[in-house]
A and B are shown apart, each in its own frame.
Chain A
Amino acid sequence: MTRYIFRRLLQAIPLLLIISIVLFVMMQAMGDPLATMGGRKVTKPEDRIRLARQLGLDKPVCVQYIYWLIGNDWTRPVGEIPKPNAGIFTPIVQCLDPRNYIDADNPGTRKGVLRGDWGISLVNRQPVTKVIGARLPNTLLLMVTAEVIIIGAALLIGIYSALNQYTAFDNFVTATTFVLYSMPVFFFALLAMYIFSVNFRKWGLPYLPTVGMFEPNVGQTPAQVLWHMVLPVATLSFGFVAGYSRYIRSAMLETLGQDYVRTAKAKGLPRPEVIYIHALKNAALPIVTLVALDLPFLLGGAIVTERIFGWPGMGRLFLDHVERSDTAVVMGIMMMIAFAVIIFQIIADITYAWLDPRIRYK
């Protein structure tokens, strides 16, 4: 098992490297971060050259990538390097020229990602770790709450409709889950906002807030945050509740029909024990993997949810910084997510093997 985990972690390294290279190259070609740097004013040409040099943006992409990855504090100044004239192969020639790597106009101070330095945001000149760190708890708050609600609600609904198969409740749940499962996140969000916020206010009922984490004049109190979380969490979880409860329902139905469950009933065990201990334990097994593997989808939902509800989390941070071609922050977010997804995949495998002793990894 330890060997298996170790091997999986080793395999993750080239994967992360490939992802980082592809994303980095795409980010470079995504527009000019300097254009919006001077606020409303257009950046002057001489400032542009100076800024590009200062930030290292005048370097070939591969050099920028190397600096991003391992930093540039080891570089030494060697003076001007003429730009090679090789047509479309110029970037490749530049990449192969070692002088490009050891040259630095201003002695490098960056340590590189591998040594924990994620660079500086081009938008607000703050370290990336600080920028992301300020937003991460907000997203985590939203996602962890959503995940708890998803699992709790899905278990309740799934088990109840499995035990009452083909009753009116079961049929109603089947129809509703089908509709909710196919409903786009933004449509649910807008509809919920319209009903529970706009119309409830019109009707004089206690209405839910639509934007932000708290009322500015009240401040960030737990009660405020909780109240503001209702709609975003509901938006984030509804599709998953629908999907998972279907899954649990069919898994429960399958387990309830198995011989060992009949044996448990036959030997006179109380019904709750048969259902919740014998049947549910086996039926809930795949849910563990499902939850871990669906992390990318939950994150994808978070980006839309945060945008609609003005939630100051990572999704909105990502959108804002993609729009301004802020490589450092976007790379930071993407690599963090990729890393989290890989780790969760490994955790899913491990938990699965731990829960189901029939599974062996080599």
Chain B
Amino acid sequence: MTESTLEQPKPGIASLLPDELETPPLSLGQLTWRRFRRHRMAIFGVAVVVLIVIYAFGGMLVFSEADANHAETGNALRAPTREHPFGTDTIGRDILARTIYGGQISIIIGLTAMLVEVVFGVTIGALAGYFGGWLDSVLMRITEAVLVIPQIFLLLVMARYFSQSIPNIKLLGRTFSGSVLVIVFVIGITSWPYLARIVRAQFLSVKENDFILAAHATGTSTRDIIFRHILPNISAPIIVSATLSVAAAIILEAYISFLGLGVRPPTATWGNMLEGAYNYIDTAWWLWFFPGILIAVTVLSINFLGDGLRDALDPHSRSA
């Protein structure tokens, strides 16, 4: 093609300057938002997640942490009253205040465990997918090894292994049970294989594109190719997977705390509030109902949100 044909103005839209167009081109973010807001369940999910975050963090203004951990043994196992709207637990602590502080811990565990998972999953998936060869085989064997044992079994063994004698942590004037860190780490380190597989598969397909070849040809460093050329292109599945894994981490924390190997009291989480609650199934339904329904609603809305994100970020995929 000669220069003259290139410069020849084409009829129609191509000859207009961008600001002469009737509708300016939309950015990826705007397009995603357009598709996302049409997804009614996803909007509902966002609203509920926001409400729950307000509940857990705004509740701090109403109840102090001392309220949440204040035990009144004479007032144990009281059904919901005006004074204790959610009732009291086996040693007389107010369940409403505990769901607020437990919610903070559960949400923080969900988010930080997701971060651990994303760091491990993306790093391992990227290394395996980009470099291939022996590194790929070694990393994928490790991934398989982690996948072969059901996560909950691995979690229980690891939670016990790491929580031998971990001191309490002081942060922002509050004391947290050190087991929170253990749980975050353990959930993150057993969840990454799924993400690593997704990232690896995406790397394998994206790295074959011509623009990667061009980047190589212009002498772009490997680090820039991975982080600036490939990763932004595969952010959609990572974002979706990360969103869903926040919900998964909240559930997993609840499982291990429920089974008695999770976060240690007095730090409340929604999960450890449920521990032993089934012994009171006949007598005290409020013990398990309020933390249980909070977990269920949170997880449900995060899943809606993730589902909406999947449809919005990738219009080709249809959620099953």
Q: Contact residues of A with B, CB < 8 Å? A: 14-15, 18-19, 22-23, 26-27, 29-31, 178-179, 181-187, 189-191, 193-194, 197-198, 210, 246-247, 249-250, 296-297, 299-300, 303-304, 307-308, 318-319, 322-323, 330, 333-334, 337-338, 341-342
Contacts and interface: CB of A to CB of B under 8 A. Distances in A.
Name the 9 nearest CB pairs between A and B, nearest first: A296-B150, A300-B152, A182-B300, A187-B292, A300-B150, A250-B320, A26-B161, A299-B150, A182-B303
B198 to A, nearest CB: 15
B52 to A, nearest CB: 14
Interface string B292-314: 11011001100110000000000
Contacts of A186: 254-255, 258, 274, 278, 292
30 contacts: A15-B141, A15-B148, A18-B142, A19-B149, A23-B157, A182-B247, A182-B300, A183-B296, A183-B300, A184-B292, A184-B296, A184-B299, A185-B255, A186-B255, A186-B278, A187-B288, A187-B293, A198-B282, A198-B285, A210-B281, A249-B320, A297-B150, A300-B150, A303-B153, A304-B259, A334-B153, A338-B148, A338-B149, A341-B148, A342-B148
Contacts of A190: 274, 277-278, 281, 288-289, 292
Contact of A337 (B141, B145, B153, B303): B153
Interface in B249-308: 251, 254-255, 258-259, 261, 274, 277-278, 281-282, 285, 288-289, 292-293, 295-296, 299-300, 303-304
A58 B71 CA distance: 44
A183 B259 CA distance: 17
B158 interface: yes
B153 A184 contact: no
Nearest to A308: B278
A319 B292 contact: no
A318 B254 CA distance: 18
B151 interface: yes
A251 B164 CA distance: 48
Listed residue (A183, A247, A299) with the most chain B CB atoms within 10 angstroms of its CB = A183
A318 B154 CA distance: 11
A342 B147 CA distance: 10
Main SS at interface, chain A? helix
Contacts of B157: 23, 26-27, 30, 322, 330, 334
A137 B180 CA distance: 36
A128 B281 CA distance: 34
Contacts of A249: 320
A197 B285 CA distance: 13
Contacts of B274: 186, 190
A48 to B, nearest CB: 19
Nearest to B277: A190
B153 A318 contact: yes
B295 A26 contact: no
